[in-house]
Amino acid sequence: MADLLKELGPTFLGSRLKRLGERMQAGAARVALDAGLPVQPAHMPLLAALDGQALTVGQLVQVVGISQPGVTRGIGQLVDLGLAESQQSQEGDARQRTISLTAEGNAVLARARLVVWPRIEEAVKALFGGEPEAFMAQIAAVETALAAHSIDALAARSTPQVLTIHEFSDALAHHFHDINAEWINAMFRLEATDREVLEHPRKKIVDPGGVILFVEARGLGIVGTCALQKTGARSFELTKMGVRASARGLKAGEFLLEAIIARAMALGAEPLYLLSNARCEAAIHLYEKRGFEHDAGIMADYGARYARCDVAMRYQTPPG
pLDDT in the model for residue 247 = 87
Which amino acid, one-letter code, is at 115? V
pLDDT in the model for residue 248 = 82
Of the candidates 39, 117, 50, which has an alpha carbon nearest to the alpha carbon of residue 78?
A: 39
> 38-90: per-residue pLDDT in tens?
999 999 999 999 999 999 999 999 999 999 999 999 999 999 999 999 988 76
pLDDT in the model for residue 49 = 96
Q: φ and ψ at 10, to 5 degrees? A: -60, -25
pLDDT in the model for residue 245 = 86
Those residues of the chain that have pLDDT short of 50 are: none
pLDDT in the model for residue 69 = 94
Of the candidates 250, 249, 227, which has an alpha carbon nearest to the alpha carbon of residue 180?
A: 227
Domains of the chain (ranges plus CATH)? Answer: 4-127 (1.10.10.10), 163-315 (3.40.630.30)
Q: pTM score, two decimals? A: 0.64
> 215-237: per-residue pLDDT in tens?
999 889 999 999 999 999 999 99
Where would I find the beta strands (DSSP E) of the chain?
Answer: 55-56, 84-88, 97-101, 163-167, 211-217, 221-230, 236-243, 272-276, 292-294, 311-315
pLDDT in the model for residue 93 = 57
pLDDT in the model for residue 95 = 65
Where would I find the beta strands (DSSP E) of 48-200?
Answer: 55-56, 84-88, 97-101, 163-167
pLDDT in the model for residue 263 = 97
